[in-house]
Amino acid sequence: MTDAEVQKVFKEFWQDIVMPDGEWDLEQVKRELYDYAQFMEETSKVYDHITMGRVSKPNTTAEAVIAEADEVLNDLIREAIEEDREDRKDRKDHIDDWKVPCR
């Protein structure tokens, strides 16, 4: 992040919010910082949940969080498929024990 990027974001996003009359509104800055702290805390919880603990830092890029969440989902799918295979194998073994011979 460069100083120019910071200045651009401030001017385009924050300036009208925290300096509505051209002067700093300290109470508004406090409210915005409170909201930001809440956002960081809650985002961390969501990232931790959807990645099963693999990501929890709120400043992690969206691409990284999505990649980890996809990997978690793929792992869960692989586990479910393997469990299903084992269940089917167990059921097949059990069913084979009860087959009636054909005449």
| Each residue's pLDDT expressed in tens, for the chain with a length of 103 residues | 899 999 999 999 999 999 999 999 999 999 999 999 999 999 999 999 999 999 999 999 999 999 999 999 999 999 999 999 888 887 766 665 666 666 5
| CA–CA dist 56, 30 (Å, integer) | 25
Helix residue ranges, H only, the chain: 3-9, 15-18, 26-50, 62-97
| Residue 99 DSSP class | P
Q: Is 52 exposed, middle or buried (0-12, 13-18, 19+ CB in 10 A)?
A: middle
| Residue extents of the structural domains in the chain | 3-97
The residue assigned the tokens 């469990």 is 83
Contact yes or no for 48/55 (Cβ under 8 A): yes
| CA–CA dist 33, 57 (Å, integer) | 18
**pTM of the entire structure?**
0.72
What does the CA dihedral 67, 72, 77, 81 come to, rounded to 10 degrees? Answer: 130
